[in-house]
Amino acid sequence: MAKIRPSGGYRELRSFQTATIIYDATYWFCERFLEPRSRMSDQMAQAARSGRQNIAEGSRASATSSQTELRLVNVARSSLEELLLDYEDFLRHRHLRTWAPDSPEALAVRGVWHDRSDRSDQTDRSDQVDPANHYARYARWLDHDDPAVRANALLCLINQANTLLDRQIEALETRFIEEGGYSEQLAVARLAKRAAERGEPPDRTDRTDRTDRTDPIPACPKCGKPMALRTAQKGKSIGKQFWGCTGYPECKGLVNV
């Protein structure tokens, strides 16, 4: 039986690939320009690692928990924001120039991704390229002898990664609202299988002849499809659960819990 929800595949994500470049470059940056045993060096390395590892862990967790996946991707986003501030502090404390967003240097770094043929849809998928080749695209900045060049290039990359993660989080939230979580999808799949075993269509509207009354999942009052247990994300009922039609957004049937 195929998985209800796919998981993994994080190595193909642009967000993961960018976070890997940031982690490698930060490791070597701290090794060369900071005291290896200093608190700042340790914090920067850990923040960079957290950004990368949590994207991977969230991708693996997606098979069984939408909430866990969202939480871990948000942790990755927060870790990279912390790292962003560290690089800004490094430049400011040493009176080094910070590139303006529209400076030729910043535009050159940001333009590297635009030279690629990969697509930038909701799944954030990229072509499969060896990680070393990804890094090589930025080596002229990330291996520079001037720490200001390295730090500024990393600021550009972190901002790109954060934008990708914001889109990834938005897509995950939309999918959760429209499709529900793993437990809801599992319940729908179970109902569909039982209906198929009885020779009934899964979206049957007439359920009055059902002999099994132990199933707590109601049918949609509008279209008859199975309902999915969901949690309100906004409004006066935020945090409260309700039954929503699995045919959403075509059908907006609701049943109070």
pLDDT in tens, 145-156: 999 999 999 999
Q: Tell whether 119 and 17 lie within a shared domain.
A: yes
Q: Tell whether 65 and 148 lie within a shared domain.
A: yes
Q: Is residue 217 part of a domain?
A: yes
Q: Tell whether 74 and 159 lie within a shared domain.
A: yes
Q: What pLDDT, in 10s, does the model give residues 80-108?
A: 999 999 999 999 999 999 999 999 999 99
Q: Using the predicted structure, report yes or no on whether residue 122 has a pLDDT greater than 60.
A: no
Q: Tell whether 100 and 214 lie within a shared domain.
A: no
Chain centroid to Cα 128, Å, comes to 18
Q: Using the predicted structure, report yes or no on whether residue 205 has a pLDDT greater than 60.
A: no
- What are the helix and strand counts (H, E) for the chain? 8, 3
Selection from 137, 15, 161 nearest residue 87 by Cα? 161
pTM above 0.75, yes or no: no
Range 193-196, long-range pairs (CB < 8 A, 24+ positions): none
Q: What is the mean pLDDT of the chain?
A: 81
Last residue of a domain, one of 179, 209, 242: 179
DSSP helix/strand/coil, 127: coil
Q: Decide if 246 contacts 195 (C-beta within 8 A).
A: no
Q: Tell whether 74 and 127 lie within a shared domain.
A: yes
Q: Tell whether 167 and 232 lie within a shared domain.
A: no
Q: Is residue 5 part of a domain?
A: no
Q: Tell whether 237 and 171 lie within a shared domain.
A: no
Q: What does the angle CA 53 – CA 54 – CA 59 come to, to the nearest 5 degrees? A: 105
Tell me the CA distances in angstroms from 146 to 23, 29, 96, 135, 188, one per residue in order: 19, 11, 10, 18, 58
How confident is the model at residue 120, as a pLDDT?
A: 37
Q: Is residue 204 part of a domain?
A: yes
- Pull the structure tokens for residue 3: 């998985």
User: Structural domain tally of the chain?
Assistant: 2
Q: Is residue 237 part of a domain?
A: yes
Q: Is residue 4 part of a domain?
A: no
Q: Is residue 170 part of a domain?
A: yes
* pLDDT average, residue stretch 44-48: 97
Higher-confidence residue of 17 and 206: namely 17
Q: Tell whether 65 and 171 lie within a shared domain.
A: yes
Domain holding 110, by residue range, is 10-179
Q: Tell whether 148 and 211 lie within a shared domain.
A: no
Q: Is residue 187 part of a domain?
A: no
Q: Tell whether 98 and 213 lie within a shared domain.
A: no
Return the residue matching tokens 């950004």.
51
Q: Tell whether 166 and 103 lie within a shared domain.
A: yes
Q: Is residue 189 part of a domain?
A: no
Last residue of a domain, one of 179, 208, 240: 179
Q: Tell whether 130 and 206 lie within a shared domain.
A: no
